[in-house]
């Protein structure tokens, strides 16, 4: 048989071999992509990247000999990108889930600490009451002796002072835990506060209201929502909102806006008093546990 007669057969065999190699690459890349799509932990992610990879594999299957090398390179990269994107997005979802669980655990721990602090505060209150009653009994017994009375009074003042200090410390710890719980629950920050004869006084930032306006700013709304969570965590008896502005009506409406935001945050409206007065300088205060 002459070479001219066997040449077409050789060319046909070479074409089949090339086609077989093409099919191997297509099958290999399709298998990798299918593995991602069959994995329940990955198949909900990287939808767009998987679509691009599938299209690149289809293009490779249809590519001619000249276009095959760039088509194979593109298909390889597209499949690799789909795999990496799916794993990355799956890992990010797991990170988000763990972050949520961590926040929930922190909130729960804060609530338990607050309950322990409240119980300790109540125990100290009862103990202080019992000691006060005992002190009164001793005082009545020692009225006949002025010198003994002076000695007893001195001793009682020392005991009462130490007990009051412990009670105040317990209350401060309870308030700190309530502050932490409120800020964790809302993701916001409480405004600065101080204590005076009225109770715990929170002062809203000066930019809580735009000039001449009665609507809370976004940042102030978040602050008041955190304050509402704090009021509920401390089980405060009452809240008094006091506003001051150049115009008394404007001050009153601003106080009412803060009250409405507290009610929206879960505080009963019956526990909230509002007042607005005219004065120099704008100021809004919320007095928690006011008498």
Higher pLDDT, 186 or 156: 186
Phi, psi of 288 (to 5 degrees): -95, 130
Pick the CATH number of 193-288 from 3.30.465.10, 3.30.1330.60, 3.50.50.60, 3.30.1490.20: 3.30.1330.60
Q: What does the pLDDT read at residue 171?
A: 67
What pTM does this model have?
0.46
| pLDDT for residue 48 | 94
Q: What are the tens digits of pLDDT across the range 133-158?
A: 887 887 888 776 776 667 657 665 77
Looking at residue 135, what is its pLDDT?
Answer: 75
32 within 8 A of 78, measured Cβ to Cβ: no
Sign of CA dihedral 190, 191, 192, 196: negative
pLDDT at 22 (0 to 100): 53
pLDDT-based confidence at 12, cuts 50/70/90? very low
Is the pLDDT at 42 greater than 80, yes or no? yes
Q: What are phi and psi of 189, to 5 degrees?
A: -130, 140
**Has residue 218 got a pLDDT over 60?**
yes
Q: Which pLDDT tens digit goes with each residue over 84-95?
A: 998 999 999 999
pLDDT of residue 290: 53
* Residue 10 clears pLDDT 50, i.e. is over it: no
Sheet with strand 239-245: strands edge to edge: 193-196, 199-203, 283-288, 239-245, 272-278
Q: What is the pLDDT of residues 93-137, one digit of tens each?
A: 999 999 999 999 998 998 888 888 888 888 989 888 888 888 788
């Amino acid at each position: 048989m002459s070479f001219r007669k066997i040449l077409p057969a050789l060319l046909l065999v070479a074409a089949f071999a090339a086609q077989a190699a093409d099919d191997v690459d297509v099958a290999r890349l399709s298998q990798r992509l299918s593995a991602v799509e069959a994995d329940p932990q990955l198949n909900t992610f990287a939808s767009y990247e998987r679509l691009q990879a599938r299209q690149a594999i289809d293009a490779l299957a249809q590519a001619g000999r000249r276009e095959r090398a760039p088509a194979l390179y593109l298909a390889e990269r597209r499949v690799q990108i789909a795999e990496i994107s799916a794993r990355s997005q799956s890992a990010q979802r797991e990170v988000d889930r763990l972050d949520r669980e961590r926040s929930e655990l922190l909130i729960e721990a804060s609530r338990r600490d607050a309950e322990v602090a409240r119980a300790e505060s109540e125990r100290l209150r009862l103990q202080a009451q019992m000691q006060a009653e005992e002190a009164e009994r001793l005082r009545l017994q020692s009225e006949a002796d002025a010198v003994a009375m002076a000695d007893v009074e001195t001793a009682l003042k020392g005991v009462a002072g130490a007990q009051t200090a412990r009670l105040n410390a317990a209350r401060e710890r309870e308030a700190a835990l309530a502050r932490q719980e409120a800020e964790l629950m809302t993701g916001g920050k409480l405004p600065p506060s101080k204590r005076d004869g009225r109770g715990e006084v929170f002062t809203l930032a000066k930019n809580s209201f735009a000039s001449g306006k009665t609507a809370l700013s976004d940042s102030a709304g978040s602050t008041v929502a955190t304050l509402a969570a704090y009021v509920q965590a401390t089980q405060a008896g009452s809240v008094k909102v006091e506003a001051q502005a150049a115009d008394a009506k404007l001050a009153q409406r601003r106080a009412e806006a803060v009250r409405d935001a507290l009610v929206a945050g879960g505080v009963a409206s019956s526990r909230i008093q509002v007042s607005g007065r005219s004065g120099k300088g704008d100021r809004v205060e919320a007095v928690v546990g006011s008498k």
